[in-house]
């Protein structure tokens, strides 16, 4: 059985590519992850379709004054639609930053759904609780 030597130019090209994308680090503090490699390949391949729009990530803050709560949307990904459920069986809100008054003291489970399109194809939910007292 005969053994062939590796093709030296091909081997050098593969090593150079691996070094360029961070697959071989030889002591570098931040080696590339698989996601980095995929991102690099996608960015350098002009035949790939355009990437999906930014994914929405819902987030919010509550400022509480007695039974009145100012909800502030902190979502990322450029949402255009909001659906608030205040957890008290009242009608929710579709405003970006609603003001809500609770009828009684207590802890309520609040949910924000933020979407970047009219349909539900790019939505994210952020549930949390708020406690209000007179």
36 and 73 part of one domain:
no
Burial class (CB in 10 A: 0-12, 13-18, 19+), 106: middle
pTM over 0.75: no
**37-82 residue pLDDT tens:** 333 333 333 444 444 456 899 999 999 999 999 999 999 988 999 9
Count of structural domains within the chain: 2
Residue 119 in domain: yes
- What CATH code is carried by the domain that includes residue 94? 2.60.40.10
Label residue 86 by pLDDT band (50, 70, 90).
very high
User: Residue 36: which domain range?
Assistant: 8-43
Label residue 7 by pLDDT band (50, 70, 90).
low
Mean pLDDT of 24-33: 38
Mean pLDDT of 84-90: 96
């Amino acid at each position: 059985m005969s053994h062939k030597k590796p093709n030296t130019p091909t081997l050098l090209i593969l090593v150079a590519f691996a070094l360029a994308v961070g697959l071989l680090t030889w002591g570098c503090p931040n080696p590339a992850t698989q996601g980095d490699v995929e991102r690099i390949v996608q960015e350098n391949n002009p035949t790939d379709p355009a990437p999906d729009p930014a994914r929405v990530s819902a987030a919010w803050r509550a400022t509480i004054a007695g039974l009145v709560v100012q909800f502030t949307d902190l979502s990322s990904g450029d949402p255009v639609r909001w659906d608030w459920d205040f957890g008290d069986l009242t009608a929710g809100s579709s405003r970006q930053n609603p003001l809500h008054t609770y009828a009684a003291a207590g802890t309520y489970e609040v949910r924000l759904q933020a979407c970047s399109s009219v349909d539900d194809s790019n939505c994210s939910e952020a549930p949390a609780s708020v406690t209000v007292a007179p």
